[in-house]
């Protein structure tokens, strides 16, 4: 092998690290990286035995341009073993020892050496190594980018995992809170209150002291919800809950057990008057005015009370009896409190049985419509009819609406019942003369229902009844509750009136009478309550009141209907008071649709008069 460097000896077997440092023209040479000299010498193989060469001749070989292949062969003759390949001059040299040992020519030895050197990564030329290093650098940078991305994704996943853990914890806390507390008021809910009630009732039972369970019903909270929305109703519930909590000053557990019902337990009582005093105080607390946003609201409370152990010791039973007492008080007015009794329990049982029967009656279509005529007082000509609901009970016969309408309204069954009655009445009235109007009573729940407009319009369209012949009768109570809160009710009345439907203000003159209601409602008719009509002949003050109502109604462009005329004297008094139309048993009793059709059919002479007299009754 041709080795540049000083004259010296090189061991035949290099050290284990295959490195031998020597000097060539003042430069250090690493034999393991001998391929660096490939541009001058091509491929070389390591020596197999000691040899020596002169610095001068090696230098001449290194400068291949000054030597011919024949001259350079002399250098190889001095080497004991070696192969040289010069790519530029395309010549090949091999020492005689190399040719003898491998038994091949110098060209084949040089080509084998070139291939081995090229295949060995450590003997590749510098440009190729640099290219390879650049590729490795690019690959390393790609790995670093991928690693950085994976680290970023791992960090994001870790943050996301932590966030999900916290979120799950919050959901668990929220679910636990929702399970125990009312979301609107923040008070314990019914289930939580019942569990707490068990513990509270156990303490008085051991000490022998009585305890009282009080249920506070907020009479107008449902009106707020229907007219102002759920958000406003929830805010009112929060205010009422806080008032109740402050009223008992932490001496009782307060909870919300229904949409418009609150409950609390009083312990360490001595006598029942203590409970009555507490009930009166709670009624006054709820009755205080409140302002929420742009609305001045005033809630009213009705209270039911159940005592332990007199009325029971089981929490659910005690709560049910307190609620039954509250509903009994509500049926008899407002701002009242009522202790539970056996009679109330029996009444509650009857109401439950009645509710079940009403549901079956809807499925069996047991409801029908009767019609009572409205007549001109002079001449007694029929100007309209009022549709009255009747229940054909399979065991009790025909039942008037007054016996079940409260239960139907409380349970929500009034909606399907009223829908069926409205469709039937419009269908019957469409068969009668055009001058005969149809009046239909709407309860508070029906009038405030979101589907009222669509129900009325569909019934009119399906029956073909002209909207001008259709009248909606509304009581003062149903209008006052909404007008005190919002003008939505008046807007609904205006919308119905624009479609041609007319409005009758029913039972006017008694109860919570509002003259301003007469101005704002702009009803087409005012129906004076029968209580005033019955006293026209016996009380001059009542006569003056009725005359004033007639004058006000005419001022606002409304007609007047005297309701409950049952004898000729009342008819004459109504005429003296200025009433032009009337309704009552003296003018005509409620009849079926077929009988009303016979009354309204055009007849002549005595036959028509006889039919009218038969329907009017005694």
pLDDT at 12: 40
pLDDT > 90: percent of the chain? 30
- Looking at the structure, tell me whether residues 307 and 378 fall in a common domain: no
Distance between CA atoms of 428 and 431, rounded to whole angstroms? 6
Q: Is the pLDDT of residue 39 over 70?
A: no
Structure tokens at 378: 């002079």
Report the first-to-last Cα separation within the chain, whole angstroms: 149
pLDDT value of position 87: 43
For residues 263 and 216, give the distance between their C-alpha atoms in angstroms, rounded to a whole number: 6
Sign of CA dihedral 51, 52, 58, 64: negative
CATH of the domain at 467: 3.20.20.450
Question: What confidence tens digit (pLDDT) does each residue in 393-416 have?
Answer: 999 899 998 889 888 888 889 889
Q: Record the tokens describing residue 64, joined without a space.
A: 């291949």
The per-residue pLDDT for 393 is 92
Give the residue, 368 or 173, on which the prediction is more confident: 368
Tell me whether residue 311 is in a domain: yes
Average pLDDT, the chain: 76
* pLDDT of 432 strictly over 70: yes
Mean pLDDT for 155-172 is 73
512 vs 145, residue with greater confidence: 145
Q: DSSP assignment of 414-439, as one string?
A: HHHHHHHHHHHHHHHHTTS-TT-EEE
| pLDDT beyond 50 at 263 | yes
Domain that holds residue 113: 21-124
123 is written with which tokens? Answer: 């003997």
Backbone CA torsion sign across 11, 16, 19, 21: negative
Q: What is the band of 37 on the pLDDT scale with cuts at 50, 70, 90?
A: very low
Least reliable range by pLDDT among 429-443, 489-503, 510-524, 583-597 = 510-524
Contact 31, 105 (CB under 8 A): no
Cα 89 to Cα 42, 63, 64, 69, 84: the distances in Å are: 11, 12, 8, 9, 12
Q: Please, which pLDDT band fits residue 91 given cuts at 50, 70 and 90?
A: very low
Predicted pLDDT of residue 102: 52
Q: Let me know whether 322 and 430 are in one domain.
A: no
pLDDT-derived band at 512 (thresholds 50, 70, 90) equals low
| 498 pLDDT higher than 80 | yes
pLDDT of residue 423: 94
Indicate whether 163 belongs to any domain.
no
Q: Confirm whether 365 is domain-assigned.
A: no
Of residues 154 and 330, more confidence is placed in 330
**381 and 321 housed in the same domain:** no
Q: pLDDT value at position 172?
A: 64
Question: Which residue shows structure tokens 């028509």?
Answer: 608
- How many Å apart are CA 72 and CA 217, to the nearest integer? 122
Residue 364's pLDDT is 92
Q: What angle do CA 335, 339, 345 make, to 5 degrees?
A: 115
Q: Could you tell me which residues come within 8 angstroms of residue 180 by beta carbon, excluding any fewer than 6 positions away?
A: 188, 189, 191, 192
Domain assignment present for residue 145? The answer is: no
Burial profile 108-136: b = 16 or more Cβ within 10 angstroms, e = fewer:
ebbbbbbeebeeeeebbeeeeeeeeeeee
Based on the domain organization, do 460 and 603 belong to the same domain? Answer: yes
Same domain, yes or no: 495 and 583:
yes
Q: Are residues 469 and 541 in the same domain?
A: yes
Q: Does residue 297 lie in a domain region?
A: yes
Least confident of 49-63, 205-219, 477-491, 601-615: 49-63
Helix (H) or strand (E) run with residue 154 in it: helix 126-180
Statement to judge: residues 206 and 256 lie in one domain: yes
Higher pLDDT, 613 or 428: 428
CB 213 within 8 A of CB 197: yes
Indicate which CATH number applies to the domain containing 274. 3.30.70.270
Q: Which of 92, 124, 156 is the last residue of a domain?
A: 124
Sign of CA dihedral 59, 65, 66, 70: positive
CA distance 228 to 295: 10
Residue 445 sits in the same domain as residue 529: yes
424 and 548 in a single domain? The answer is yes
If asked whether residues 442 and 577 sit together in one domain, one would say yes
Average pLDDT over residues 471-491: 69
For residue 47, how many C-alpha atoms fall within 13 Å in the half-sphere facing its CB?
23
* Residue 428 scores a pLDDT above 60: yes
Average pLDDT estimate for 216-221: 88
Question: Does residue 162 fall inside a structural domain?
Answer: no
Interatomic CA distance for residues 358 and 352, integer angstroms = 10
Whole-number pLDDT of residue 305: 93
**Domain contains 169:** no
Query: Looking at the domain assignment, is residue 182 inside a domain?
Result: no
507 has pLDDT over 50: yes
DSSP-derived secondary structure for 427-490: HHHTTS-TT-EEEEE--HHHHHSTTHHHHHHHHHHHHT--GGGEEEEEEHHHHHHHHTT-SHHH
pLDDT at 604 over 60: no
Question: For the residues 148-169, what does the mean pLDDT come to?
Answer: 76
What's the whole-number mean pLDDT along residues 265-290? 82
Name the least confident of 248-252, 579-583, 604-608: 604-608
pLDDT digits (tens, 9 = 90+) for 332-388: 877 889 999 988 888 888 888 999 999 999 999 999 999 999 999 998 999 999 999
The answer, yes or no, to whether residue 582 has pLDDT greater than 70, is yes
The residue that leads in pLDDT, 564 or 19, is: 564
Position with higher pLDDT, 613 vs 262: 262
In this structure, the answer to whether residues 306 and 381 fall within a common structural domain is no
Q: Looking at residue 83, what is its pLDDT? A: 47
Count of structural domains, the chain? 3
Same domain as 545, residue 429:
yes
What pTM does this model have? 0.59
């Amino acid at each position: 092998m041709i080795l540049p460097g000083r004259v010296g000896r090189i061991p035949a077997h290099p050290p284990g690290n295959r490195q031998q440092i020597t000097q060539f023209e003042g430069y250090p040479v690493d034999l393991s990286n001998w391929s660096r000299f490939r541009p001058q010498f091509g491929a070389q193989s390591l020596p197999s035995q000691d040899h020596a060469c002169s610095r001068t001749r090696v230098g001449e070989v290194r400068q291949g341009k000054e030597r011919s292949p024949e001259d350079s062969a002399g250098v190889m003759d001095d080497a004991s073993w070696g192969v040289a390949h010069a790519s530029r001059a395309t010549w090949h040299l091999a020492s005689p020892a190399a040719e003898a040992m491998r038994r091949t020519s110098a060209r084949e030895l040089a080509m084998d050496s070139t291939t081995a050197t090229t295949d060995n990564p450590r003997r590749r030329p510098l440009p190729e190594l640099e290219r390879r290093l650049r590729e490795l650098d690019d690959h390393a940078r790609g790995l670093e980018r991928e690693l950085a991305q994976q680290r970023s994704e791992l960090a994001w996943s870790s943050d996301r995992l932590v966030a999900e853990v916290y979120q799950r914890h919050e959901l668990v806390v929220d679910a636990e809170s929702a399970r125990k507390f009312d979301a609107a008021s923040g008070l314990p809910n019914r289930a939580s209150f019942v569990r707490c009630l068990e513990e509270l009732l156990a303490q008085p039972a051991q000490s022998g002291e009585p305890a009282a369970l009080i249920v506070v019903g907020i009479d107008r909270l449902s009106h707020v919800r229907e007219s102002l929305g759920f958000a406003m109703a929830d805010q009112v519930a929060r205010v009422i809950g806080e008032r109740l909590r402050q009223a008992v000053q932490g001496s009782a557990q307060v909870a919300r057990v229904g949409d418009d019902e609150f409950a609390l337990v009083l312990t360490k009582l001595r006598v029942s008057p203590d409970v009555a005093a507490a009930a009166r105080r709670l009624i006054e607390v709820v009755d205080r005015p409140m302002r929420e946003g742009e609305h001045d609201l005033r809630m009213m409370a009705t209270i039911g009370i159940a005592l332990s152990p007199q009325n029971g010791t089981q929490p659910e039973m005690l709560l049910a009896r307190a609620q039954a007492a509250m509903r009994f008080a509500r049926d008899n007015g407002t701002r009242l409190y009522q202790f539970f009794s056996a009679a109330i329990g029996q009444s509650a049982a009857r109401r439950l049985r009645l509710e079940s029967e009403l549901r079956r009656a809807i499925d069996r279509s047991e409801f029908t419509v009767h019609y009572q005529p409205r007549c001109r007082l002079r001449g007694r000509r029929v100007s309209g009819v009022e549709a009255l609901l009747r229940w054909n009970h399979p065991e009790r016969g025909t039942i008037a609406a007054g016996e079940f309408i409260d239960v139907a309204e409380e349970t929500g069954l009034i909606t399907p019942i009223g829908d069926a009655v409205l469709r039937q009445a419009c269908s019957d009235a469409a068969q009668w003369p055009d001058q005969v109007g149809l009046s239909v009573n709407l309860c508070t729940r029906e009038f405030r229902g979101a589907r009222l407009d669509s129900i009325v319009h569909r019934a009119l369209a399906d029956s073909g009844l002209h909207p001008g012949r259709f009248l909606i009768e509304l009581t003062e109570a149903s209008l006052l509750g909404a007008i005190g809160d919002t003008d939505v009710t008046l807007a609904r009345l205006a919308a119905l009136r624009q479609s041609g439907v007319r409005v009758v203000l029913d039972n006017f003159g008694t109860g919570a009478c509002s003259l301003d209601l007469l101005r704002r409602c702009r009803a087409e008719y005012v129906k004076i309550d029968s209580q005033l009509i019955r006293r026209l002949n016996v009380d001059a003050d009542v006569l003056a009141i009725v005359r004033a109502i007639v004058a006000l109604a005419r001022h606002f462009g409304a007609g007047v209907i005297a309701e409950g005329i049952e004898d000729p004297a009342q008819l004459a008094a109504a005429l003296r008071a200025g009433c032009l139309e009337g309704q009552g048993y003296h003018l005509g009793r409620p009849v079926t649709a077929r009988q009303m059709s016979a009354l309204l059919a055009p007849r002549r002479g005595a036959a028509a008069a006889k039919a009218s007299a038969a329907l009017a009754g005694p």
